[in-house]
Homo-oligomer: A and B are copies of this chain.
Amino acid sequence: MGFFFFTSRTAARLLDGIARPGVSTAALLLTAASSGGLVAYADSAAESAPEAPKKKVLVLGTGWAGTSFVKNLDCSQYEVKVISPRNYFAFTPLLPSVTSGTVEPRSIVEPIRRMFEKKNKDVTFYEAECFKIDASKKTVHCRSAVGTNLDGNGDFMLDYDYLVVALGATVNTFNTPGVLEHCNFLKEVEDAQKIRESVIDCFEKASLPNISEEEKRKTLHFVVIGGGPTGVEFAAELHDFLVEDLVKLYPAIQKFVKITIIQSGEHILNTFDKRIAAFAEAKFQRDGIEVATGFRVVKVSDDLITTKSKSVGEEVSVPYGMAVWSAGTGTRPVIMDFMQQIGQTNRRALATNEWLRVRECEGVYAIGDCATVSQRKIMDDISMVFKLADKDNSGTLTLKEINDVLEDICIRYPQVELYMKSMHMLDIADLIKGAVGDSHKESMVVDIEEFKKALSHVDSQVKSSPATAQVAAQQGHYLAECFNKMDKCKEHPEGPLRMTGGSGHHFFRPFRYKHFGQFAPLGGEQVAAELPGDWVSMGHSTQWLWYSVYASKQVSWRTRMLVISDWTRRFIFGRDSSRI
């Protein structure tokens, strides 16, 4: 019995080191030891040996999309590997709070390995950056982010059956000269930490004895370029940091501080409801934050930002101490390279079909900020849709024939439903009526030209989803569900009728984004919120809604506790101004 114990433990340890899922373990066990007890065990293992090797799923990225995918994936069905240069997930909506120290960087990150360990996920993680996707050979090339004291350059290659690209986006400087060199960004945790240090740097520099008043003014001029939610929230956080904390510690230079938001559009927060934009602008005016709308930044030097008025066309340069660039998202080089391989040139992000698969690319999926769903236009497929609906091949459609395929049409082309809703139409008959004239609903008959005419404006409702955490998380979840039921759905498809090419049904319903609203924190315990159903909420009470939502959305109890204790600490003790 003692021997059995020893050998089985030895074998288990061996297996631990060598065996990979998919390799038959029976042979190994028999090699390790051939005691009676173990043979029985090996036999039972041999029985299950003929099982097909698991498909390899490779996930690139550990942001909202990537982690949401793995969290919801049934990892027992696949051999899952995750690659990311960051071994943690960051709760990015709280990044602006990190810039001022309202929340600590560690409170918003969760190690990837711990996330998956807690979910009992059998996932292999490699901390490395993917620098090349080779879709023809179904491989990706990666490079370790770690260098010091270690041999080799850390390059390696991995192959896949399914590739999930969730690499996110980078900043978009629109090729404005000087931006990369002189501006701060707000994409990664490190960026937020750097901004925090830079702000303190400016205050310390302006406190030195040999600084002229003019230079103090310059040093304490904080410029935010881009009036989107990130820029606005950062400006608000900075203002709070200033009036709640720094004023007490740097009273002598308080009067030199200025915050400016430069926005090329007419209003800040232009993706929000107009009431929210107006509320934000009024609040910022009261706070003394300058909102310069209608200006485009054309150049940034080490101490000047040059803007061009959109209306007048005049160029003006203003001295500044620190600038944060938050004006749009760009494409990562590896995505750019991959898009060129597959012929998707001149695009900002990878185009996928409605099932999040990269067009023209077998087995490659793309989710999150690095991808956009390119919704098929119904007008491109109109003849085939007509033919499919025209079951009796009469060349005309009756209302019944249309209604028979209407659900499939609406699932496949969601713009049809959106259009009808926007036009306050009750059913498809209302839509058709415009084309065939004022005939009676029941006896209505349309030919192909009338059908085209009726649907001609529908495609105007095609909208791409915004590049937000909410979209990315929903896409990850959706794709994981598809992977989980792949086998089942191949037999019992649950998608709509195939309109173009092929017969039968699509395996899955297409991805559909559900908008749950969005927040715009404006500082001073005031938050504006756009809620589902065209509701808008603003003020102090919304701050508490914001606290609850953000606390509940944390990925772990650890980060939830940390974020809440950070908020509490801020209430009691204020923010820390140590330059670390």
Contacts and interface: CB of A to CB of B under 8 A. Distances in A.
Interface stretch (A148-156, A168-176, A478-486): A148-156
Interface in A213-227: 213, 215, 218-219
A190 interface: yes
Nearest to A212: B151
A170 to B, nearest CB: 19
Given A114-B577, A117-B248, A151-B215, A201 B109 contact: no
Contacts of A579: 86-88, 127
B88 A578 contact: yes
Interface in A341-388: none
A151 B114 CA distance: 46
A580 B127 contact: no
A578 B110 contact: yes
Contacts of A105: 580
B208 A156 contact: yes
A63 to B, nearest CB: 14
Interface string A110-130: 110110010000000111100
How many identical subunits does the complex contain?
2
A482 to B, nearest CB: 27
A177 to B, nearest CB: 16
Contact of A109 (B218, B252, B580): B580
B208 A109 contact: no
A404 interface: no
Interface string A127-164: 11000000000000000111011111011101000000
Given A87-B204, A578-B87, A580-B105, A249 B114 contact: yes
Contacts of A321: 149-150
A558 interface: yes
B149 A250 contact: no
B208 A154 contact: yes
A580 B250 contact: no
A111 B557 contact: no
Interface in A74-110: 86-88, 104-106, 109-110
Interface stretch (A282-290, A328-336, A407-415, A561-569): A561-569
A302 interface: yes
B149 A320 contact: yes
A47 interface: no
Contacts of A303: 149-151
A270 to B, nearest CB: 29
Contacts of A322: 149
Nearest to A87: B579
Given A558-B573, A561-B569, A113 B249 contact: yes
Contacts of A205: 127, 144, 146, 150, 154
A436 interface: no
Interface string A173-203: 0000000001000000110010000101110
Contacts of A189: 580
Contacts of A558: 569, 572-573, 576
A16 interface: yes
Nearest to A205: B146
A425 to B, nearest CB: 51
A194 to B, nearest CB: 10
B210 A146 contact: no
A36 interface: no
A207 interface: yes
Interface string A245-261: 00011111001000000
User: Which one of A13, A156, A204, A218 has the highest number of Cβ atoms from chain B below 10 Å of its Cβ?
Assistant: A204
Contact of A207 (B126, B148, B150, B576): B126
A111 B561 CA distance: 25
Contacts of A302: 148-149
A209 interface: yes
B208 A577 contact: no
Contacts of A210: 152, 154-156
B127 A204 contact: yes
Interface string A544-580: 0000000000000110011001000100110011111
Contacts of A578: 86-88, 106, 109-111
A213 B13 CA distance: 14
27 contacts: A87-B204, A87-B579, A105-B580, A106-B576, A109-B576, A111-B249, A111-B577, A114-B249, A126-B204, A127-B204, A128-B208, A144-B208, A145-B204, A148-B198, A148-B201, A148-B302, A149-B219, A150-B202, A154-B208, A154-B210, A155-B210, A156-B208, A156-B209, A156-B210, A561-B569, A561-B572, A561-B573
Interface of A: 13, 16-17, 86-88, 104-106, 109-111, 113-114, 117, 125-128, 144-146, 148-152, 154-156, 158, 182, 189-190, 193, 198, 200-202, 204-205, 207-210, 213, 215, 218-219, 248-252, 255, 302-303, 320-322, 557-558, 561-562, 565, 569, 572-573, 576-580
Given A16-B252, A558-B569, A561-B573, 11 more contacts: A17-B252, A87-B204, A88-B579, A113-B250, A117-B248, A150-B202, A151-B218, A155-B210, A557-B573, A558-B572, A558-B573
